[in-house]
Amino acid sequence: MQHETASPTARHHRHGSNAGQPLTRRDGLLKVTGRATYAADNHPDGTLYAVVATSSIARGRVRSLNVEAAKAHPGVVEVLTPANRPPLAHDPDEKMPPFGFRVEVLQDDTVRYVNQPIAMVIAQSLEAATEGAALLDPRYETEPARTGPSNGTRFDPQAIGVGAPARTAHGDIEAGLAVAARVTEAEYVTPSQYHNAMEPHAIVAQWDGDRVTIDMPNQALALSCASYAAYFGIPAENVVIRSPFLGGGFGSKAILNGPQILAILAARMLGHPVKLALTRAQMYGPVGHRGRTWQKLRLGTDAQGRLTALHHHALGATSSFDEFIEPAANASLPLYASPAILAEHEGLRLDIGTPGPMRAPGEASGSAALEVAMDEAAEACGMDPLDFRLANYAETEPVTGKPFSSKALRECYVEGAKRFGWSERPLAPRTMRDENGFLVGWGMGTAVFPCPHFPAEARATLRADDTALVETGGVDMGQGAWTALAQIAAEALGLDPDQVELRSGESTLPDGGIAGGSAHTASAGMALHNAGGNAIAQLAELATADPESPLFGAGNIGVVAQAGRLHRRDDEQRGETYAAILARAGRTEVVGTAKSTRDPAVASTHAMYSHGAVFAEVKIDPDLGQIRTTRLVGAFAAGRIINPRLVRSQYFGGMIWGISFALHEEAITDRRTGRFLNADLAEYHVPVNADVPALDALLIPEDDPHVNAIGVKGVGEIGITGTVGAIANAVWHATGTRVRRFPIRMEDLLAGSSAE
Amino acid sequence: MGYHMSLSIRLTINGQPRDVALDDPRVTLLDLLRERLHLTGTKKGCDRGQCGACTVLVDGRRINSCLALAASMDGAQITTIEGLADGETLHPVQATFIAHDGFQCGYCTPGQIMSAVGLINEGRAGDDPERIRELMSGNICRCGAYQGITEAVLEAQKILSDDEKRDAA
Ligand code: FES
Ligand code: FES
């Protein structure tokens, strides 16, 4: 671990360090002993329990609620309905800037989707609140539910995802298609999926005057404080959110939702702490989901199998009252070279809860369609799918022409293919069987994910006893922030991670930015890196200005921070410990503070993405159509890897989400009522251990001098992309049947037909 | 807040005898542990027996505590995640979960670990990863830590059976 600083302004070089080591999780002990505290584990004195009552219709209004029956139940303290809900300072029918959605907080009696909150019961026990909610016995005026393209309303969205343009064009698509030797055209359908983090959305809220302390799983602490402050008409600093552990987020805990606002409101109204946890079924509605898409792709190819046009059109479902359109077509923008690329989106209004970002929003659904379309085009050209992708390898960002900050995708293809044994693959489908007579298929897909950067802040206090306290309001939802951020800070401070205490997971700390977009390690990590550098620079300034220091006058040469000691860059022997510098200066500590943002100059000159290649093997029972993923190899290049153990786990998690997308997950809506048929973990299928084969994730080295000073890209979401297509393509290779609707089901194969 | 009922049950939780006065017949074992005894290590993921987050050992067998009424537990020996370590010494399953990164967010982890301990007690784990995957499939991990979980159970199983052999020798 070394750290070089040219005083007085810090300049950083990396010399290998204990960042990069596969440390086990620093929070591991707490998690395996049950001592990690999740929101619902908090029990302030006097806690009351809230249970939200949710609608069982998709559209209409609540005609009556039996509030008297609920109130008469022993233990019930209060029933919140539109009739008595205290006012809020922000209109819930207005969007909350910058990313907030419209929320349902009992503003009126309309019902806009299934599982919308229609009342909240607060009681002295969970059992009483639950029964009180059941006693409300709502009666409705029901209107027909709009459940799909046949009865929903299509529209042209202003923006898609979180504010991206709905249409991006490069070159002339029709001209590109006109000159093509072949045009491959198909439609792909992806279902609505629900995040289903294992931890249901929970909250414990307690007020003290006009200050509120909130224990909740939250991926965006500072943003949420500002939003809650706006709803409750108090300054943002009066809102404290504690979120040391999240039981999974995947995007669903980044955005405010109605039930949690109501729980905070109930706590203020009743003068008691209030605890609320959604039931599993209630997580299908008010807390976002991955919206359904219907995607059309047209790929033109020339005689050599090079793309002449890539046209991706996505119709995305949203609610009747707000917009989050899955930016699926944008998956076709950064990956393959083509003289003409067009990505465009349309919206479809349905009677559903508003979708939201869910792990790889846009990229997951879009990559699923694109990678199957690429496979179909390769098939049409009679080419191996990997050769076809290499023939269309983008040396610069296709639409903008910008160079990539780094791109080791070719190495991912080579290493992944080698590990998998891809070169043995027969071109024709339905040609491989295993010893039990199962059909065997091999497929591949390319993975890609952008590298955003969220503004973040941090503080680093370097103490005379060779320890440091580093602080940033970061969030660990399982990706390993408690460990990786400490490693980054330790490196910046020239200390061992054991000497560094990290405080995180609370809104009172410097703003650690958003845990999302695969950007947290880079964003909060850069803030810590800069704060550490700032502390070291202060130390160096003290030493180089002090005639009694062996570093006196070394300011121009520069000093290196290593193992609790500063030494001259040109002479390792000449230096002294942090403790000695501080002692002579009569100081007990130096405090470094810093922010991190993306350098706009670099952003304007470079395109930044993580890349990967995923190879899948499936085995399919020829009689039953049962599909099993038997092998999955992913090779990913994502800049510098801070902790390979945790990064591998992130890739595995993403790849398992890919298996899930390809073969398992789908929320099924009853077209007659708009209700879900499977809003539970038994019938909404997510992979269990037996669904997941031995996985392989290769960490392909990649040095990125541009993305940020620590060279870190993102790893949390990329594993889904590529994997879905790889599995779908393997299913085709095994059976010769091209299924274009996800998840792929055994009946799709038994029918022997193409997609609906 | 009574529900016209009072029932006293005696349980042993993590080796400690506890007399519990229940004022409500609807309380599940899971909610008793979490909301009344403040043993919050055991988690609720579904409250329907579909996810395994609430797995505890009752008389040595793994069960979903969300599906058991507390009132039916009179006389039971209950082991939760809080009772697994011996002071500062982790149970081998806890240690191997850390070593193999058998979790990410950690929310399913108490249930996974209790399920693994139950599985090893059942003597059905063996050294076949395929069997372990199958027999651990009542515990959902949405983060997808299955690879680490399987490796952790395999290694813990080996440590425990080596211990047994040593004890027998
Ligand atoms: S909470 Fe008991 S099985 Fe899910
Ligand atoms: S570790 Fe997050 S659900 Fe298993």
Q: What is the pLDDT of residues A256-276, one digit of tens each?
A: 999 999 999 999 999 999 999
Amino acid at A109: D
b/e code A181-199 from CB counts within 10 Å (16+ = b): eebbebbbbbbbbbbbbbb
Q: Closest Cα to residue A197, out of B140, B66, B63, B54?
A: B140
- What is the predicted pLDDT for the residue at A275? 98
Query: What is d(CA A34, CA A705) in angstroms, rounded to the nearest whole number?
Result: 41
A24 closest CB neighbour out of B38, B99, B145 = B99
Nearest residue (by CA) to ligand 1, atom 3, is B49
Q: Contact B45/A280, CB-based, under 8 Å?
A: yes
B101 closest CB neighbour out of A33, A35, A646 = A646
- What is the predicted pLDDT for the residue at A176? 98
- Positive or negative torsion for Cα A62, A64, A70, A71: positive
User: Residue A154 has which token pair?
Assistant: 């299509």
- What is the predicted pLDDT for the residue at A77? 98
CA of B44, closest atom in ligand 1: 1
Pocket perturbation via mutation, ligand 2, pick of B54, B81, B113, B141 by most ligand atoms within 8 A of CB: B141
**Whole-angstrom Cα Rg for chain B:** 17
Give, in degrees to the nearest 5, the angle at Cα B56 between B139 and B140. Answer: 10
Looking at chain A, how many residues does it have? 756
Band (A18; pLDDT cuts 50, 70, 90): low
Q: Contact A653/B90, CB-based, under 8 Å?
A: no
**Which DSSP state fits A380?**
H
**Which DSSP state fits B3?**
-
Q: CB contacts < 8 Å between A and B, how many?
A: 196
Query: What is d(CA B80, CA B33) in angstroms, rounded to the nearest whole number?
Result: 9
Q: Are residues B39 and B77 in the same domain?
A: yes
Query: What is d(CA B29, CA B49) in angstroms, rounded to the nearest whole number?
Result: 12
**Which DSSP state fits A415?**
H
> How far off is chain B from A273, nearest CA to CA, in Å?
14
Instruction: Reply yes or no on whether the pLDDT at A630 is more than 80.
Output: yes
Of B29, B62, B83, the residue at which a domain comes to its end is B83
Query: What is d(CA A677, CA B68) in angstroms, rounded to the nearest whole number?
Result: 26
Q: Are residues B96 and B75 in the same domain?
A: no
Pocket perturbation via mutation, ligand 1, pick of B32, B33, B47 by most ligand atoms within 8 A of CB: B47
User: Residue A206 has which token pair?
Assistant: 């307690």
**Which DSSP state fits A353?**
P
All residues at 6 or more sequence positions from B122 whose CB lies less than 8 Å from its CB, including other chains: none
Give, in degrees to the nearest 5, the angle at Cα A181 between A175 and A184. Answer: 85
Query: What is d(CA A187, CA A173) in angstroms, rounded to the nearest whole number?
Result: 18
Which tens digit of pLDDT belongs to each residue from B115-144? 999 999 999 888 999 999 999 999 999 999
Contact between residue A295 and residue A262 where contact means Cβ atoms under 8 Å apart = no
Give the count of beta carbons closer than 10 Å to the beta carbon of residue B6: 10
| Residue keyed to tokens 């800070």 | A489
**Average per-residue pLDDT for chain A:** 95
Amino acid at A13: H
CA distance between the termini of chain B: 57
**What CATH number does the domain containing B116 carry?**
1.10.150.120
Query: What is d(CA B28, CA B66) in angstroms, rounded to the nearest whole number?
Result: 6
Of B31, B65, B83, the residue at which a domain comes to its end is B83
User: Residue A437 has which token pair?
Assistant: 């007579």
CA of B106, closest atom in ligand 2: 1
Instruction: Reply yes or no on whether the pLDDT at A755 is more than 80.
Output: no
- Cβ of A60 closer than 6 Å to ligand 2, yes or no, is no
- Any long-range contacts for A587-590 (C-beta under 8 Å, 24+ apart)? A587/A464, A587/A542, A588/A463, A588/A464, A589/A461, A589/A462, A589/A463, A589/A464, A590/A461, A590/A462, A590/A535, A590/A538, A590/A539, A590/A542
Q: A688 in contact with B at a CB cutoff of 8 Å?
A: yes
Position B1 in a domain: no
Looking at chain B, how many residues does it have? 169
Which tens digit of pLDDT belongs to each residue from B84-105? 999 999 999 999 999 999 999 9
Q: Contact A197/B105, CB-based, under 8 Å?
A: yes
| For residues B149-162, average pLDDT | 95
All residues at 6 or more sequence positions from A488 whose CB lies less than 8 Å from its CB, including other chains: A19, A521, A525, A528, A529, A642, A710, A712
- What is the predicted pLDDT for the residue at B3? 55
Residue ranges with strand state E in A472-568: 500-503, 559-562, 565-568
DSSP symbols for A602-625:
HHHH-B-EEEEEEEEEEEE-TTT-
b/e code A729-744 from CB counts within 10 Å (16+ = b): bbbbbbbebbbbbbbb
Band (A14; pLDDT cuts 50, 70, 90): very low
CA of B112, closest atom in ligand 2: 4
Instruction: Reply yes or no on whether the pLDDT at A12 is more than 90.
Output: no
Q: Which residues of A are catalytic?
A: 717
Instruction: Reply yes or no on whether the pLDDT at A754 is more than 90.
Output: no
User: Residue A733 has which token pair?
Assistant: 């290779």
Band (A98; pLDDT cuts 50, 70, 90): confident
Which tens digit of pLDDT belongs to each residue from A611-621? 999 999 999 99
**What CATH number does the domain containing B64 carry?**
3.10.20.30
Position B58 in a domain: yes
Position B2 in a domain: no
All residues at 6 or more sequence positions from A525 whose CB lies less than 8 Å from its CB, including other chains: A484, A485, A488, A642, A710, A712
Query: What is d(CA A213, CA A532) in angstroms, rounded to the nearest whole number?
Result: 30
**Which DSSP state fits B127?**
T
Q: Are residues B41 and B75 in the same domain?
A: yes
User: Residue B73 has which token pair?
Assistant: 């537990």
| For residues A714-727, average pLDDT | 97
Nearest residue (by CA) to ligand 2, atom 3, is B141
Question: Ligand nearest B142 Cα, by number?
Answer: 2
Give the count of beta carbons closer than 10 Å to the beta carbon of residue A237: 11
Instruction: Reply yes or no on whether the pLDDT at A8 is more than 70.
Output: no
| Residue keyed to tokens 């203020």 | A268
- What is the predicted pLDDT for the residue at A578? 97
Inter-CA distances, A502 with A30, A470, A553, A590, A641, Å = 15, 5, 33, 16, 20
Distance A45 CA to ligand 2 centre (A): 29
Contact between residue A618 and residue B114 where contact means Cβ atoms under 8 Å apart = no
Band (B167; pLDDT cuts 50, 70, 90): confident
Distance B79 CA to ligand 2 centre (A): 21
Query: What is d(CA B31, CA B23) in angstroms, rounded to the nearest whole number?
Result: 13
Contact between residue B100 and residue B154 where contact means Cβ atoms under 8 Å apart = no
Domain boundaries, chain A: 8-36+457-597
- What is the predicted pLDDT for the residue at A11? 32
Instruction: Reply yes or no on whether the pLDDT at A27 is more than 60.
Output: yes
Band (B4; pLDDT cuts 50, 70, 90): low
Query: What is d(CA A588, CA A580) in angstroms, rounded to the nearest whole number?
Result: 10
Which tens digit of pLDDT belongs to each residue from B69-82? 999 999 999 999 99
Query: Whole-structure pTM over 0.90, yes or no?
Result: yes
Which tens digit of pLDDT belongs to each residue from A487-535? 999 999 999 999 999 999 999 999 999 999 999 999 999 999 999 999 9
Give, in degrees to the nearest 5, the angle at Cα A264 between A263 and A269. Answer: 95
Band (A100; pLDDT cuts 50, 70, 90): confident
Q: A578 in contact with B at a CB cutoff of 8 Å?
A: no
Q: Which domain holds residue B104?
A: 92-168
Looking at domain A8-36+457-597, which CATH architecture does it have? 2-Layer Sandwich (3.30)
A694 contacts in chain B (CB < 8 Å): 129, 147
B1 closest CB neighbour out of A32, A40, A74 = A74
Helix boundaries (H) for A494-633: 520-544, 578-584, 600-605
Q: Count CA atoms closer than 13 A to A548's CA, side-chain side.
A: 6
Quick one: what percent of chain A has pLDDT higher than 90?
95
Main-chain phi, psi angles of A29, to 5 degrees: -60, -45
Position B108 in a domain: yes
Torsion of CA B69, B75, B81, B83, to 10 degrees: 160
- What is the predicted pLDDT for the residue at B124? 84
Distance A556 CA to ligand 2 centre (A): 50
Q: How far is CA A333 from the centre of its chain?
A: 20
Contact between residue A527 and residue A259 where contact means Cβ atoms under 8 Å apart = no
B26 contacts in chain A (CB < 8 Å): 127, 130-131
Position B113 in a domain: yes
Number of domains in chain B: 2
> How far off is chain B from A454, nearest CA to CA, in Å?
22
Which tens digit of pLDDT belongs to each residue from A150-207? 999 999 999 999 999 999 999 999 999 999 999 999 999 999 999 999 999 999 999 9
Q: Count CA atoms closer than 13 A to A679's CA, side-chain side.
A: 18
Query: What is d(CA A195, CA A357) in angstroms, rounded to the nearest whole number?
Result: 9
**Average per-residue pLDDT for chain B:** 95
b/e code A459-481 from CB counts within 10 Å (16+ = b): bbbbbbebbbbbbbbbbbbbbbb
β-pairing verdict for A341-349 and A167-170: antiparallel
Of B54, B83, B112, the residue at which a domain comes to its end is B83
β-pairing verdict for A202-208 and A211-215: antiparallel
Q: A51 in contact with B at a CB cutoff of 8 Å?
A: no
DSSP symbols for B28-95:
BHHHIIIIIS--TTS--S-SSSSS-TTEEEETTEEEEGGGSBGGGGTT-EEE-GGGTSBTTBPPHHHH
Give the count of beta carbons closer than 10 Å to the beta carbon of residue A421: 13
